[in-house]
């Protein structure tokens, strides 16, 4: 699969690019430099998008290595719908998982909620914060949100 950059020449700012979509296309970089895309259900929580992924998937290792990812709205099968944004991805710490889980349950329809109730123990939560929001907060003297706790990220 090709990169989102080839399909969408100019990034769009903030999570508004996701619109009313139910799935987002998460593009990560593998160790060999290849780009990999995954269609995932998500929820918007303030300035961040939250999602749940199985604990054994390669996307978690890719995010640990390279936390900057591309995100865009897509169909359930992963066909891009519109522009993309660059986000800082991070794995939600265990003490914040209950909040992430509640946000996802509120945004899901009944059938996905039922399915997720059977596999919740085998899942990790991800939070995506748009890079442009982090840069704007750093330039304006504000403190960007990091994680669900509201602390400032180190190095920004």
Mean pLDDT of the chain: 76
Strand order in the sheet with 23-29: 35-41, 23-29, 68-74, 80-91, 123-130, 48-54, 43-45
Q: Would you state the pLDDT for residue 31?
A: 83
Tell me the CATH class for 4-136: mainly beta
Q: At 55, is the pLDDT very low, low, confident or very high (cuts 50, 70, 90)? A: confident
Comparing 126 with 144, the larger pLDDT belongs to 126
Q: Would you state the pLDDT for residue 59?
A: 87
Comparing 156 with 92, the larger pLDDT belongs to 92
Q: Would you state the pLDDT for residue 114?
A: 55
Domain spans of the chain?
A: 4-136
pTM equals 0.71
Q: At 4, is the pLDDT very low, low, confident or very high (cuts 50, 70, 90)? A: very low
How do residues 73-103 score in pLDDT, each as one tens digit?
999 899 998 888 899 999 999 999 889 888 8
46 pLDDT above the threshold of 90: no
Pairing of strands 23-29, 35-41: antiparallel
76: CB partners within 8 A, 6+ apart? 22, 23, 39
19 pLDDT above the threshold of 60: yes
**How many other C-beta atoms can be found within 10 angstroms of the C-beta atom of residue 63?**
22
143 pLDDT above the threshold of 60: no
Q: Would you state the pLDDT for residue 8?
A: 41
Specify whether the CB–CB gap between 85 and 15 falls below 8 A: yes
CA–CA distance, 73 with 4 (Å, rounded to integer):
11
Comparing 128 with 110, the larger pLDDT belongs to 128
């Amino acid at each position: 699969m090709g990169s989102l950059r080839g399909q969408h020449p100019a990034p769009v700012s903030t999570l508004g690019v996701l619109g009313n979509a139910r799935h987002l296309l998460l593009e990560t970089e593998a160790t060999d430099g290849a780009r990999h895309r995954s269609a995932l259900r998500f929820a918007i929580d303030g300035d961040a998008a939250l999602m749940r992924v199985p604990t054994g998937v390669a996307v978690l290792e890719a995010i640990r290595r390279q936390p900057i990812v591309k995100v865009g709205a897509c169909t359930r099968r992963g066909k891009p719908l519109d522009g993309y944004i660059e986000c800082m991805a991070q794995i939600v710490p265990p003490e914040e998982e209950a909040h992430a889980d509640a946000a996802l349950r509120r945004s899901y329809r009944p059938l996905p909620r039922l399915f997720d109730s059977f596999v919740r123990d085998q899942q990790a939560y991800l939070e995506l914060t748009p890079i442009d929001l982090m840069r704007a907060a750093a330039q304006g003297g504000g403190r960007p949100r990091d994680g669900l706790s509201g602390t400032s990220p180190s190095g920004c």
